């Protein structure tokens, strides 16, 4: 059997890892209705990868997870592990470990019996089972907790037991549905680190559902941004943060400045164009070709904007300071542009603190091509 053995503490990525592919995956709960809970989803998760599904409530994250785990039927499409379709298998035949939002620890069983449950179902008994349970308890840092009942554990401990139970049988894939949802912030951060470390060392291909963007960034190799059942973007944390595919992705992650404008010089895909914006003409980078006259939003992260009007080649905009809040490592400044747009600027204090007086005129500037044109 493939219960985790103690010598597998090192990186075993590759050796035992599996890849997961979602092919045009769709789900309608109401067969006759028009509404898709998940629509034409395509995703390749490589061996040992940690992928997060990030999106607002009702965007189809849980539904996708349930289809992978085998609890929801597919309306169309396919799911493959290592190139073989698993769509026809019942949940118990898929060998997928799952951690539920409320952990779903069996209340009438001790912690040891909870963790031993998947082994029992696989006909593993006696010493072998006891030892595997012990190993997993050590792995999640809960030695000696085997005799307790779930209700005698704290939320964080319950989560770790749920994780141990989902890992003990050596699953091909690990699925987690908002496992930190019920925990306070500090504990979350600690458990995130532990989970990440554990996942790395086991090299297990993992899908993690959350609607906490920070959590997704901390944990993931790649993030899948979902909205209304559709994938909005797939990318590494820095990709989705600095190169959002559309305005939904831009606004969903972090603070986004969006300035509405009209293209005055067209751009090919991956090229630089120019747009008329708030009384100025600014350069933009665009991933897609945009024709002259098209309406675009220019996107900029707050930390990409400088308030001292530096550089000759830089793009510039004039505005008035509306507020300035000192937060330690930086000052958060809001600036009102002539067309009324409110801009958020994070001014780093790394080279000394600068005082910003509310009501003063100020010049916003950034490197040419830093602004991204978003059409969707």
Ligand X SMILES: Nc1ncnc2c1ncn2[C@@H]1O[C@H](COP(=O)(O)OP(=O)(O)OP(=O)(O)O)[C@@H](O)[C@H]1O
Which residues of the chain form contacts with Mg ion (CB under 5 A)? 62
Query: Toward other proteins, which CB reaches closer, 92 or 308?
Result: 92
Which residue's CB comes closest to Mg ion? Answer: 62
Q: What minimum distance in Å lies between the beta carbon of 174 and ligand X? A: 18
Judge whether 324 and 332 are in contact, CB under 8 Å: yes
Pinpoint the alpha helices (H) of 4-140: 61-69, 111-121, 126-139
Query: Toward other proteins, which CB reaches closer, 99 or 275?
Result: 99
Whose CA is closest to 64, among 33, 105, 98, 93?
98
Q: What minimum distance in Å lies between the beta carbon of 319 and other proteins? A: 51
Query: Toward ligand X, which CB reaches closer, 115 or 225?
Result: 225
Query: Toward ligand X, which CB reaches closer, 60 or 302?
Result: 60
Query: Which letter does DSSP use for residue 242 in this model?
Result: H
Contact positions toward ligand X, by CB under 6 A?
A: 29, 37, 55, 57-63, 211
Query: Toward other proteins, which CB reaches closer, 66 or 275?
Result: 66
Q: What minimum distance in Å lies between the beta carbon of 2 and Mg ion? A: 29
Whose CA is closest to 212, among 347, 349, 54?
54
Q: What minimum distance in Å lies between the beta carbon of 101 and Mg ion? A: 7
Burial of 214 (C-beta count, 10 Å sphere; 0-12/13-18/19+): middle
Q: What minimum distance in Å lies between the beta carbon of 63 and Mg ion? A: 8
Q: What minimum distance in Å lies between the beta carbon of 24 and ligand X? A: 17
Place of tokens 């792995």: 139
The distance from CA 318 to its chain's CA centroid, rounded to whole angstroms, is 35
**Which phi and psi angles does 227 have, rounded to 5°?**
-150, 135
Contact positions toward other proteins, by CB under 8 A?
A: 69-71, 90-92, 94-98, 100-102, 104, 106-108, 117-118, 121-122, 149, 151-152, 165-166, 169
Bridge partners for 261 per DSSP = 296
Interaction partner, residue 122 (other proteins, Mg ion, ligand X, none; CB < 5-8 Å by kind): other proteins
Burial of 99 (C-beta count, 10 Å sphere; 0-12/13-18/19+): buried
Judge whether 279 and 339 are in contact, CB under 8 Å: yes
Query: Toward Mg ion, which CB reaches closer, 61 or 370?
Result: 61
Interaction partner, residue 91 (Mg ion, ligand X, other proteins, none; CB < 5-8 Å by kind): other proteins
């Amino acid at each position: 059997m493939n219960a985790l053995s103690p010598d597998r503490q090192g990186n075993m990525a590759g050796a035992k890892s599996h890849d997961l592919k979602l092919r045009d995956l769709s789900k309608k709960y109401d067969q006759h209705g028009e509404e898709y809970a998940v629509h034409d989803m395509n995703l390749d998760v490589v061996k040992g990868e940690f992928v997060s599904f990030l999106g607002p409530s009702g965007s189809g994250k849980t539904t996708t997870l349930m289809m992978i785990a085998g609890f929801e039927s597919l309306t169309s499409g396919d799911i493959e592990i290592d190139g073989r379709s698993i769509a026809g298998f019942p949940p118990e035949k898929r060998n997928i470990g799952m951690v539920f939002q409320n952990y779903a620890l069996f209340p009438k069983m001790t912690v040891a019996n909870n963790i031993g449950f998947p082994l029992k179902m696989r006909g593993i008994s006696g010493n072998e089972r006891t030892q595997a349970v012990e190993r997993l308890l050590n792995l999640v840092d809960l030695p000696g907790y085997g005799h307790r009942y779930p209700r005698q554990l704290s939320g964080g401990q319950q989560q770790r037991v749920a994780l141990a139970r989902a890992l003990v049988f050596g699953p091909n894939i690990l699925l987690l549905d908002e496992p930190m949802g019920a925990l306070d912030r500090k504990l979350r951060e600690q458990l995130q680190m532990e989970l990440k470390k554990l996942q790395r060392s086991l090299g297990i291909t993992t899908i993690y559902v959350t609607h906490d963007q920070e959590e997704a960034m901390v944990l993931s190799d790649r993030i899948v941004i979902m909205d209304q059942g559709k994938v909005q973007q797939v990318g590494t944390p820095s990709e989705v943060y600095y190169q959002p595919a559309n305005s939904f992705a831009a606004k969903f992650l972090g603070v986004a400045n969006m300035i509405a404008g009209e293209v005055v010089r067209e751009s090919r895909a991956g090229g630089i164009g120019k747009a008329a914006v708030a009384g100025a003409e600014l350069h933009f980078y665009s991933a897609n070709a945009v024709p002259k006259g098209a309406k675009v939003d220019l996107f900029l992260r707050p930390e990409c904007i400088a308030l001292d009007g530096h550089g000759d080649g830089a793009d510039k905009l004039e505005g008035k300071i509306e507020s300035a809040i000192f937060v330690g490592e930086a000052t958060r400044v809001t600036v009102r542009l002539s067309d009324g747009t409110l801009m958020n600027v994070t001014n780093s204090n790394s080279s000394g603190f600068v005082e910003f007086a509310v009501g003063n005129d100020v010049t916003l500037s950034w490197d040419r091509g830093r602004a991204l044109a978003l059409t969707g």
